[in-house]
């Protein structure tokens, strides 16, 4: 008999689990209270990257003179059209998800789900309340933005990333509270459009979860672009708010304070798992304030209830949610599968881009006794020079005892695409010599990967 699988949440993890489960021959019901695609598709990854692309085209147009291309008149942006472009992409992808689910014969209920017991899910929708019987349950309720007390979004002067992605007019000046992934991406977008940007980050460095050297390089680059970066600093309170602007008090690590007046404030200090009102207590599921406990099969302590994506302790990334969705579906179908997290790529679409797979230098020094590090610059890369983006470098970490690649970080042009090859190498646990012996096309940005690996074994070409 086919298993009945009920999934709560229709983001990347939820709809991914629905499709995988359906492909594996199960009867699937997907419960989603808002739009299919979750945060990533609707108010996260996709719309942000639409703005990133628009800012890149704007910058390339301004810099056309480098190639002998001139633009007559003033280069301007109609941000309403940019916002409409973003909306069209989101709508098209969301409709695509709906089509795939329908094609796979997944039943979709627009409502909220609550687990009553290990085999029953209560669904509340505009049609009323109903109970679904389930052989297996998957929790994929995602995450929501963390709100700082005193800086609650008002949709006008103080915005979260969700509200910021709905703007149709660019602010002339903005303060971004949080120098993590979201913060530096928005900072790059607004600065590229010529706006005044200040980043306020509590940690000593930007993107604090990444390699410290990479974070420092990014900070220097953003500062060189004219972005005001305040690390080891905290937005303490709102001093004044008017119809035109907002004034913040900012405190540095030494206790000194300053005031900053801007048109808008963006608060993006992280996300928290959506764990409330989904029946965790009723079902007896073990969790803490931050995440649901799971094993390698994505099972909770209740063997037929799984949890995937942002509600687990794994990195809050859409591609991790897709991966965990597959692991859960395979195990439900009786096919042994275990999640491994040593080769998760992370991408930051700032300018310049940043990407990493595997360990940071700090992590590697704690775990690898005989660590070696090799860096290779984009400065002499022909393709990078042609694209006028030859700042940045690749940083490759490997175990000197066995040659195993344990981590790769990249800052520079198309780092988010270039990380694919190192991800495969780390996934397969290839020795660095194997990577050095592979052939990268010329001229290409990817040459930097092979050259870094070659230099690591004493066969550097241009270094």
Which residues are tagged catalytic?
Answer: 442
d(CA 315, CA 326): 16
Contacts with 326 (C-beta within 8 Å, 6 or more apart), sequence order: 16, 17, 20, 337
Distance, in Å, from the CA atom of 48 to the CA atom of 160, rounded to the nearest integer, reads 13
Helix intervals (H) in 104-233: 161-164, 181-192, 212-224
Closest CA to 309 of 3, 15, 5, 6: 15
DSSP code of residue 3? P
Burial zone of 415 (CB within 10 Å; 0-12 exposed, 13-18 middle, 19+ buried): buried
Give the closest residue to 365 by CA, choosing from 232, 202, 212: 212
Rg (CA), the chain: 24
Task: List 235's β-bridge partners, or say none.
Answer: 250
Confirm if 291 and 142 have CB atoms less than 8 A apart.
no
The whole-angstrom distance between residue 333's C-alpha and the CA centroid of its chain comes to: 29
Q: Order of strands, edge to edge, in the sheet holding 305-307?
A: 128-133, 120-125, 107-117, 27-32, 4-8, 136-139, 305-307
């Amino acid at each position: 008999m086919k298993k009945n699988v009920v999934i709560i949440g229709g983001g990347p993890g939820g709809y991914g689990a629905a499709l995988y489960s359906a492909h594996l021959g199960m009867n699937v019901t997907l419960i989603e209270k808002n739009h299919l695609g979750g945060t990533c598709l609707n108010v996260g990854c996709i719309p942000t990257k639409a703005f990133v692309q628009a800012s890149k085209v704007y910058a390339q147009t301004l810099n056309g003179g480098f190639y002998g291309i001139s633009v007559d008149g003033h280069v301007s942006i109609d941000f309403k059209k940019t916002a409409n472009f973003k909306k069209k992409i989101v709508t098209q992808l969301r409709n695509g998800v709906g089509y795939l689910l329908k094609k796979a014969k997944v039943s979709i209920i627009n409502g909220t789900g609550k687990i009553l017991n290990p085999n029953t899910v209560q669904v509340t929708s505009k049609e009323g309340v109903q109970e679904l019987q389930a052989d297996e349950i998957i929790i994929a309720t995602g995450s929501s933005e963390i709100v700082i007390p005193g800086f609650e979004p008002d949709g006008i002067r103080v915005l979260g990333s969700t509200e910021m992605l709905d703007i149709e007019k660019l602010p002339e000046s903005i303060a971004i509270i949080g120098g993590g992934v979201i913060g530096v991406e928005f900072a790059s977008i607004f600065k590229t459009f010529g706006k005044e940007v200040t980043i306020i980050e509590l940690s000593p460095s930007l993107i604090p979860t990444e390699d410290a050297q990479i974070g420092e390089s990014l900070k220097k680059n953003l500062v060189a672009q004219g972005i005001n970066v305040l690390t080891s600093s905290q937005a303490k309170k709102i001093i004044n708010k008017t119809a035109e602007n907002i004034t913040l008090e900012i405190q540095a690590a030494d206790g000194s304070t300053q005031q900053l007046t801007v048109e808008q404030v963006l608060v993006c200090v992280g996300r928290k798992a959506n764990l409330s009102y989904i029946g965790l207590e009723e079902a007896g599921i073990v969790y803490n304030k931050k995440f649901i406990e799971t094993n390698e099969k994505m099972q909770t302590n209740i063997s037929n209830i799984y949890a995937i994506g942002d509600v687990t302790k794994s990195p809050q990334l859409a591609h991790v949610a897709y991966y965990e969705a597959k692991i859960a579906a395979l195990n439900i179908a009786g096919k042994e599968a275990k999640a491994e997290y040593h080769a998760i790529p992370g991408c930051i679409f700032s300018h310049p881009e940043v990407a990493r797979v595997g360990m940071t230098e700090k992590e590697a020094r704690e775990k690898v006794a005989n660590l070696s590090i090799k860096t290779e610059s984009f400065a002499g890369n022909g393709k990078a020079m042609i694209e006028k983006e030859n700042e940045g470098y690749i940083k490759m970490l490997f175990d000197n005892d066995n040659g195993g690649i344990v981590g790769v970080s990249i800052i520079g042009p198309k780092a988010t695409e270039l990380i694919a090859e190192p991800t495969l190498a780390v996934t397969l646990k290839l020795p660095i010599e194997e990577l050095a012996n592979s052939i990268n096309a010329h001229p290409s940005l990817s040459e930097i990967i092979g050259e870094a690996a070659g230099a690591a074994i004493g066969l550097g070409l241009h270094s």
